[in-house]
Amino acid sequence: MIRLRLLGYKGYFVLSNILRYSAFIDDVVIACDKNVQDDYYEEIKRLCIDNNISYYDRTNEPECNSVYSIAIGWRWLSSDKNARIIVFHDSLLPRYRGFNPLVTALINGDSYVGVTCLLGSGEYDRGAIISQRRMKVDYPAKIQNIIENISPLYLDLMIDFLNKIEKKQPIRGEEQDEQLATYSLWRDQSDYYIDWAWDADKIKRHIDAVGYPYAGAKTLLDDQELIIKEASIVDDVKIENRKIGKIIFKRENGLVIVCGKGLLLVKDFYTSNNELFNYENKFRLKFR
């Protein structure tokens, strides 16, 4: 009846809470994701083994014979041509079609984020909307906490879908309003870097949005890459010759960095080897 394509914590969370519906699950396809520090590959695999659910890695999956192919947290286009594709997307569509919408929403400072269950279509995230759930965001908001808090919304939508199948109800969706559509572009390593021309509030949101399980917010000092995991906003001062990225104050609890608007306090900087960067005897530093 159902093939599940699961990736990450959200996929793991949903599967671990729908085991009572296991009779509907034909198999599970899992994958490794090099873009995050923990892709929950092994946890999903163990869950399948412990509950006698067939599973396959996406590199050797068989042809799909299920009625539905459901993607949760999935980063790739589905190859299940014979099944009806159902997608769970990390945004309140039609806003943020595309890639890493949750990260983009948090960087933008959205008051609400959510999940959309939609029918697959020829163009990504343009299918008819089956159902949606949303939740309020209180800032500062770290991505890991938001992922954990939004996962029950995925489960909610999934149980609604499974109940419809169980009751043999039709799966229908409502067409999206194209005039309200926006897009979130794909991200690569360059998108981890802080733009010090941003205001301090946006930089703080960026740091929190690309932290664990992602690689973390990055900046350059000369040619050395440094990672910032925590930061706080401090009161701005009038700077007659404002230059973004420069240190203006060195305090006991960290360095105060000039932003396009506002100031940001950072205590710890980490190297690419996750070692603390020592700035004890340094002051005239400029990040870029």
Domain ranges of the chain: 2-184, 189-271
Name the packing angle between helices 143-166 and 8-16 (round to 10°): 40
Cβ atoms of 20 and 14 within 8 Å: the answer is no
Instruction: Confirm or reject CATH 3.10.25.10 for domain 189-271, answering yes or no.
Output: yes
Residue type, 206: H
- Contacts with 144 (C-beta within 8 Å, 6 or more apart), sequence order: 211, 212, 213
What is the spatial distance between Cα 138 and Cα 160, in angstroms, rounded to a whole number?
27
Residue 211 DSSP code: -
Residues of the chain with confidence (pLDDT) below 50? none
- Report the predicted TM-score, pTM, of the whole model to 2 decimal places: 0.95
First to last CA, the chain: 52
CB atoms within 10 A of CB 111: 10
What is the spatial distance between Cα 288 and Cα 285, in angstroms, rounded to a whole number?
10
Tokens 């029950």 label which residue? 152
What is the spatial distance between Cα 209 and Cα 141, in angstroms, rounded to a whole number?
7
3-state SS, residue 224:
strand
CB atoms within 10 A of CB 93: 25
Q: Which class for 172: exposed (0-12), middle (13-18), buried (19 or more C-beta within 10 A)?
A: exposed
CA angle 233/235/238 to nearest 5° reads 130
The residue among 252, 215, 207 whose CA lies nearest residue 233 is 207
Cβ atoms of 8 and 40 within 8 Å: the answer is yes
pLDDT value for 76: 86
- Contacts with 77 (C-beta within 8 Å, 6 or more apart), sequence order: 124
Tokens 């002051």 label which residue? 283
pLDDT value for 80: 86
pLDDT value for 81: 83
**Alpha-helical runs (H) found in the chain:** 8-16, 41-50, 101-108, 143-166, 200-209
Q: What is the CATH number of domain 2-184?
A: 3.40.50.170
